[in-house]
Amino acid sequence: MAPGAGAAPEFVDAALFMGMHSADDRVRLACKGFFIDRLATGVSISLEQVGRCDDIVWSHPREVQDAYYPFMDNLHTDMAVARVGYDLADITAALESLVLPDLPITERLTLGQVVARGAILYTVDSRFPVSSGLPVLVPSPVDTEPEFPDKLEQLYQESLVLRVDPSGGGWR
C-alpha cells in the first residue's frame, strides 16, 4: 500500500486522480507525473473518492466515457491501487479534529482516514489546508510531459478527450 518500507502510506483523492485530465496543463502534467512515479509502488484511495471519480466521468457523454475508461481500467490493473473503506478510527479522526471543522464532510472523512492511518494525502484540491501542519501535499510540478509505459501511454492519450476544469468545480 505504501511506497518503500517504513514510508508513510500515500493516499490520493479524486482531484489528484482526475487531475491527470485537467484542462490546466500544469496540473495535468504534475498529476500524471505523480502517478507515473508510483506505478511500481502504488497508492491508496478511499472508496468514496473512487466514486467521486466515477461521478465526474459519468457526467460526460458516453463516447467520452468509452475513450476514458480503458486508460483508467488499465492503470488500476498495472498499478497497485488500494481502494480503502472508512473504519471507525477514520470517522472518529474526521469528526473530532479541531483543525478540520471548516472542511466539507467528504474532505474531513478523507483527511480523517489519512490522519488515522499515519498517511499522507496528495491532492490538487485547494480546499485542503496544504501548509497547516496536516499531512497534505501537492504533487511536484514537471516541465516536460512524462510518459506511461507504451500501451498505457497510448490509452492515456486517447482518454484525453475527457478534460476536467478545476476552476469550475470539476472535481468537487
Q: Which sequence spans correspond to the domains of the chain?
A: 10-166
Which residues sit opposite 136 in a β-bridge?
121
Contact 17, 156 (CB under 8 A): no
Pick the CATH number of 10-166 from 3.40.50.1010, 3.30.499.10, 3.30.70.2660, 3.40.50.300: 3.40.50.1010
> Given pLDDT bands bounded at 50, 70 and 90, which one contains residue 80?
very high
Residue 1: pLDDT above 50?
no
Residue 138 to residue 135: CA distance in whole angstroms: 10
pLDDT tens figures, 29-38 = 999 999 999 9
The whole-number pLDDT of residue 172 equals: 54
Angle, CA 166 vertex, CA 133 and CA 17 arms, to 5°: 70
Residue 74: pLDDT above 90?
yes
Task: Give the residue among 144, 129, 135, 143 at the shortest CA–CA distance from 116.
Answer: 135
Residue 46 to residue 142: CA distance in whole angstroms: 26
Average predicted confidence (pLDDT) for the chain? 90
pLDDT tens figures, 126-159 = 888 776 778 999 999 999 999 999 999 999 999 9
